[in-house]
Structure 1
């Protein structure tokens, strides 16, 4: 496709600017050309050899479609697993309004995307409004936090996800607040957490987890109509420490990709069976579960709400294989690739979906 070759081909504002071009050389002309986009400069270059003269012949500018230049095409509708796509549309429809009476919901975006690189650790994170909420026009009830806590000598990467309970009217506010306030409380305990991980002291880690999460809930005055789950993953940025910890309340949680398969890595009960009860803050602040574990370079950790962890189980092996192939390859996805992959749809799984992945690189 070729660019404009005469004044009439320019859009209105640009056309007027081109027609007002200085007729002579000098500072005014330099300032004028500095305001034009490159394609306009290419069409309006004035010969500066000797005295001012007529404009040099204009050479048409060729425009190359970015997709043609890179060999890539727009991704389009998110992929789905299974024989048929979900019944809901794959894109947001209505959204909450300012006059609906919930000021927080009205300004909650349908999608949040984040990422980080800390030494050999690479993070990709996305929180996506579910198909059912897109259809209803209700806000995303999930929340996430990606940050660092602690001083340089005891620094930790903190990753948190929360899933507001659908039965609680203001759970979206609870999930947003608790991920951030818990990070603040854990920051105060960062040196103790770092020491407990180094010493492999599970009892101390449990005590810190209970103290920090109870403190956050109490400080927020978290009410029952703000009920939410919470999962926090803590990773030392010191490459010499391979211990990690996850603190959990409620469903969702941690998975590890090993040998192309997702393994559940969330805390378990004393009987070594997963606790399937639906627990949530604020009332479950005394039953925080804690799990310490080790990783090796090359592993991938996934922290998620049940919108992604439920289909990762054997309930939908095709979904699990799809994400294992997407995120277990030789290349770490870009932010936009990760978002598109995280939006992979599976019939009957239409809840909000929040997923944070960590690629454990070589030290």
Structure 2
């Protein structure tokens, strides 16, 4: 070809015209037939030269197709007839053969009603390895059960037309429940491995013996459940400008020093939870000092009933007594170690009166009746020295002091008419006229506070309660407010339950102690505050 717009200068290349020239004649008909049937017959003749009996004249002999060996286990179909040699049936996943609609030059399906003839023997194939028995699906059972064997070839009818296929056989009856019946083995079929035995049925549920679980905390004791719900219902009313005045529903604390383990808890009562009132009880746990000179204080106070500021009075009473004990903890530890019972009683009595006097002074500043802004106070002193097992209790107001020894509760609350109380085991009280010990402990540098009223009102006539004792290994000392002391004295089942739970070798954890201390009793719905000491 030339450049665009140019003319060729040499002879024109005629390859395009020679390729697509219409004047070129065709090669003409071939000397042999070249139809689709002729090509198929030629290919069939190249594969084999065995003819088909009964083939018409002029037709090329077509050999029988060689069927592949059946899949191992494919002929183990329920209710299917067995013959010697490989089964001629198709596999369940193979589609059914198409029915011929016109003249063909290859063999058609054999007549099912005509006489059967023996097919030529297929080439020798080694037996397949044994395989698990084949479990036919419903489609395979429906298409193969009860059907006569199909021959591989059939003679075409007159004119080379295959006879029409018969109607489908009736559907097989439904398969019965249970495993399929095993067909009888033939002489040349490979051995079938035995079917694994079914596992034995599970024994009934009642035959199992489950170990009994350890009993957990109980919700209540007594013949009837309490009236109120076991969980908090309503929250107390809050003032956005006095959020520090809010009191938590539950306070939980604990520690371990020397030979004692302490657990302390304060829980709002059921009636206060239902009405949305704050907890009237207050709890304070504090440690003053370090090492063997440390002193543990557990203080609990209960505000007056049916007064709006009861929770504030209880909190102030705990804070005042905590400050007084903390400032004098060194002298208190020395007196506890030396067993100066008289000095301890006199000094702690003055500390308690001073704290309650400041509470009355706070009521006067707020313009509140001192009888309404009052609180009962109960305290426990525990030295951290492991060699000292002296436990000191003191307080004012209702509550309880119990000791669990050898699985039985002992009510050791000091009585109102008891002045001296039970002496410390193994220690004596020194004379009150000693020039140094008594006076130093009794004064503690605390002046008597003046009365804010003129004339001064009569103070509350609550007796001062004091007791000291030496703990034994295995004892449990319990100090509690009236919310727990009253049901312990009034419901024996509660005492039995707590004795079983708290007599174990190890003291309970915080969560277990909380659950045990709030076991409810019908008729007792006040706040509960308790502190227990386990002796190792």
Question: Same fold by TM-score, threshold 0.5 exceeded?
Answer: yes
1:78 shift after superposition: 5.4
Q: Deviations over 1:192-238 (max 9, x none)?
A: 22222223222211221122223323445342232111110111111
Of 321, 340, 344, the residue aligned with 2:496 is 321
* Aligned-partner SS, 1:348: coil
| Aligned equivalent of 1:342 | 517
2:472 aligned with 1:306 = no
User: CA separation in 2, counterparts of 1:83 and 1:101?
Assistant: 46
Q: Deviations over 1:65-86 (max 9, x none)?
A: xxxxxx999x7x9511012110
| Aligned equivalent of 1:118 | 257
User: CA separation in 2, counterparts of 1:112 and 1:347?
Assistant: 23
User: CA separation in 2, counterparts of 1:285 and 1:116?
Assistant: 35
Q: Is the 8 A contact 1:142 1:164 kept in 2?
A: yes
Q: Is the 8 A contact 1:94 1:137 kept in 2?
A: yes
Of 383, 386, 389, the residue aligned with 1:236 is 383
User: CA separation in 1, counterparts of 2:233 and 2:355?
Assistant: 34
2:324 aligned with 1:185 = yes
Q: 1:164 to 1:102 in 2, by over 3 A?
A: farther
Q: Deviations over 1:114-144 (max 9, x none)?
A: 1111122211111100001111110110111
Of 139, 143, 146, the residue aligned with 2:278 is 139
User: CA separation in 1, counterparts of 2:301 and 2:416?
Assistant: 20
* Aligned-partner SS, 1:176: helix
Q: Deviations over 1:252-301 (max 9, x none)?
A: 03211012122122333444799xxxxxxx94488422211111121111
| Aligned equivalent of 1:80 | 220
* Aligned-partner SS, 1:181: helix
| Aligned equivalent of 2:230 | 90
2:297 aligned with 1:158 = yes
Q: Is the 8 A contact 2:282 2:315 kept in 1?
A: yes
Q: 1:79 to 1:245 in 2, by over 3 A?
A: same
Q: Deviations over 1:16-43 (max 9, x none)?
A: xxxxxxxxxxxxxxxxxxxxxxxxxxxx
| Aligned equivalent of 1:28 | none
How many correspondences in the alignment? Answer: 280
* Aligned-partner SS, 1:159: strand
| Aligned equivalent of 1:333 | 508
Higher helix content, 1 or 2: 1
User: CA separation in 2, counterparts of 1:241 and 1:204?
Assistant: 17
1:242 shift after superposition: 2.0
User: CA separation in 2, counterparts of 1:336 and 1:272?
Assistant: 38
Q: Is the 8 A contact 1:214 1:285 kept in 2?
A: no
1:334 shift after superposition: 1.3
Of 232, 242, 256, the residue aligned with 2:403 is 256
Q: 1:270 to 1:87 in 2, by over 3 A?
A: closer
User: CA separation in 1, counterparts of 2:506 and 2:344?
Assistant: 34
Q: 1:93 to 1:267 in 2, by over 3 A?
A: same
| Aligned equivalent of 2:247 | 108
* Aligned-partner SS, 2:398: coil
* TM-score, length of structure 2 as denominator length: 0.49
* Aligned-partner SS, 2:323: helix
Higher strand content, 1 or 2: 1
User: CA separation in 2, counterparts of 1:272 and 1:154?
Assistant: 30
1:149 shift after superposition: 2.1
| Aligned equivalent of 2:195 | none
2:373 aligned with 1:226 = yes
User: CA separation in 2, counterparts of 1:271 and 1:157?
Assistant: 26
User: CA separation in 2, counterparts of 1:319 and 1:215?
Assistant: 36
Q: 1:78 to 1:134 in 2, by over 3 A?
A: farther
* Aligned-partner SS, 2:375: coil
| Aligned equivalent of 2:83 | none
User: CA separation in 1, counterparts of 2:243 and 2:374?
Assistant: 18
Query: What are structure 1's unaligned runs of at least 5 residues?
Result: 1-70, 275-281
Q: Is the 8 A contact 1:78 1:90 kept in 2?
A: no
Residue correspondence of structure 1 range 29-44 to structure 2 within 5 A: none
User: CA separation in 2, counterparts of 1:101 and 1:284?
Assistant: 33
| Aligned equivalent of 1:56 | none
Q: Tell which structure's C-alpha radius of gyration is larger.
A: 2
User: CA separation in 2, counterparts of 1:285 and 1:213?
Assistant: 13
Q: Is the 8 A contact 2:260 2:534 kept in 1?
A: yes
Q: Is the 8 A contact 1:110 1:139 kept in 2?
A: yes
Query: Relative contact order: is structure 1 or structure 2 higher (C-alpha 8 Å, sep ≥ 6)?
Result: 1
Moved more, 322-331 or 261-270: 261-270
Query: What are structure 2's unaligned runs of at least 5 residues?
Result: 1-211, 364-369, 422-457
User: CA separation in 1, counterparts of 2:273 and 2:416?
Assistant: 35
User: CA separation in 1, counterparts of 2:412 and 2:477?
Assistant: 9
1:244 shift after superposition: 1.6
Q: 1:306 to 1:115 in 2, by over 3 A?
A: same
Q: Is the 8 A contact 1:86 1:346 kept in 2?
A: yes
* Aligned-partner SS, 1:194: helix
